[in-house]
Chain A
Amino acid sequence: MPSLPLILVPRGIPSRTMAYLSPLLALVLTLLAGALLFWLLGKDPLVGLKVLLLDPIQNKRALSELLLKTIPLVLCALGLALCYRANIWNIGAEGQLLAGGLATGAVLVAFDTPDRALPGGLPLLFAILAGMAGGAGWASITAWLKDRFHANEILVSLMLTYIAQLLLMYAVNGPLKDPNGMNFPQSQVFSDAMLLPNLWPGTRLHIGFAVMLLLAFCMALFMSRSFRGFQLTVSGLAPAAARYAGFSARSALWLTLLLSGALAGLAGAFEVAGPIGQLLPSISPGYGFAAIIVAFVGRLHPLGTLLGGLLLSLFYLGGELAQSRLGLPAAMTGVFQGLLLFFLLACDTLIDYRLCRPASRRR
């Protein structure tokens, strides 16, 4: 064991200050590591950081794209934060997102025909609801297998993500494939009337952003002000106390998984009925996994996930720009995401422990 010049001493009471400072500290460390990475790759670190952090917010179009990408990230993270608070390790938000997107796409394919039977936004509403139901349904498999058979939710929800991806591939190669699409594995392009209304004229930002903000505030109220939210927090922090108080662990399991599934499904629905506008084999560049980081960066708090979502969205756009402007692989986004989570977990140690010099240790 390498002996550190500093040792960790338990604080006794977790530090609230550190809980909020830790994400900032982690961000600074991630950027330092990123600068080092740019330097190792033979790029000017300052130019690299500018491309990553500033260029994605330099004009109206870029800013709107930043906000657009926060929608799926935050929606997934809101549900995950709820799950993790209740100590339910749902890591299959990606699969729930894909299932939701698939359901929305299927409904839109069914209704978006030349002889439209339903007027106005009704098909869109159906499609969005189908997306939420699809995500919740996908998550309910995990909940049921955990509830009935005690199957580990981490592994089940992750396996279901692979299955959802294959199901989507099957759908766009089979039943939902565009008959006039030159045999490409994708659905028809949905007509504008079927898509989400625009929120910011001249950009791709749709009203899903407003819905996301509303849901974040509702979720914040639910977690901090409702008895049910309190029950969930207690069953996560102290399962024994929750049991003693008569809080049902089963209903906590079902509630958190169904809610987070519905939110992830909504994220998928908004992608399909929003910026993508059709069903593709790849409707998400790993939003459901990045949302895990968003939830942790946001301190498992609904309003915190808004900030976390902005940051991870910035990494996505910055990674794309680093590819086009600096010729670096787009996979750098994943490296930055992983680094951020590592640094965050390391910094979170300072919430419960203090750094001390061995000599000044009081025991």
Chain B
Amino acid sequence: MSQQIIISRPLPLIQEFVPEDVPPDEIIYVDNTILSTFKTCEEKARLAYTEDWQTLKTAPALDFGGCFHAGIQGFYDAIADGKDREHCIVEAEHAFIKEWQARGGNLPTSLEDDEKRSVERGLWMLKAYIAKWKNEVYVNHTDNGGRPYTELGFSLYLMDWVRKGRRVPVMFVGRWDRIMRSRYDGKLWVFEVKTTSSGLTYFVLQVKPNHQITGYVYAAREILGLDVAGVVWDCAFVSSRKPNLKTNDHWLQVGIDFEKDFARQETRRTFQDLEEWLFDVRKATRDYLTLQDSGEPRWHRNAPTACHMYGGCQFRDVCASNNPSTILSSEFKKEKWKPWMGITEDA
């Protein structure tokens, strides 16, 4: 659900105009993570994004996803620099490792570890991904300076909000993994890379409706003025396969099923889809900010549905406890979720 933020390098920003008389710390930022959490469980959104409680536990899925994204960005940036293919693959691997180190090196090293999201699996997945899409129809789309549109942040004006008597802008922030051009018809596509441990046959169907995807198309059209055809939902399966040394298939030797572990699904959005997205996002934002400004100490809990999603909510024990503050102070830390960090500032 959360964005796979790359922390090892600052993110270039493409931002819509914000009036100069608004102090930066008064601008309200929301992103897909905040709003989807709020729609899933209001109390979870309060604890995580209003009270700013973040779990102390490491999150291998987020670390692994962030590293994989960094690797792919490294590859396409190297392609744009005109480097030869082998060099680009090495650059991708370096980017993966650099990101892993920047995140504290918490992922295990070997494929044989009980935690499937290891650095070794990540590097081989990266190699397999690049080999799988070697003859892809998409090529880098570059700006006038020849820079590719890879891992770009955006900050999009969503609406105004009156807070403490002042009218302030609400910005919707996010990031495009990359924007590429199809060699078939010259059309532009936003790429959204996803690492998942869900089966891809089912996962690729999650493209529509999908607010995250629709938001990326809307932002690309609004901010960049690009005639984006749609989004390529670019999925990579994180398996728990161990190395199979009894086969001559060199991918299976490193736990990868070359045919099944990667899939892409193109999805388009009509003008009507974008209008509906805008309506829903503004409504969710108004509801969220209204509750935030109300100062209510407890928001609605969507129990039990939300409690068991995505392997279990991190606040499940907090909500079930008679003494939540003890659990919060021992198992969580106060850290503001800053979706704009690295997008409007150099993180």
Q: Report whether chain A binds chain B.
A: no
Listed in ascending order, the chain B residues whose CB lies under 8 Å from chain A are none
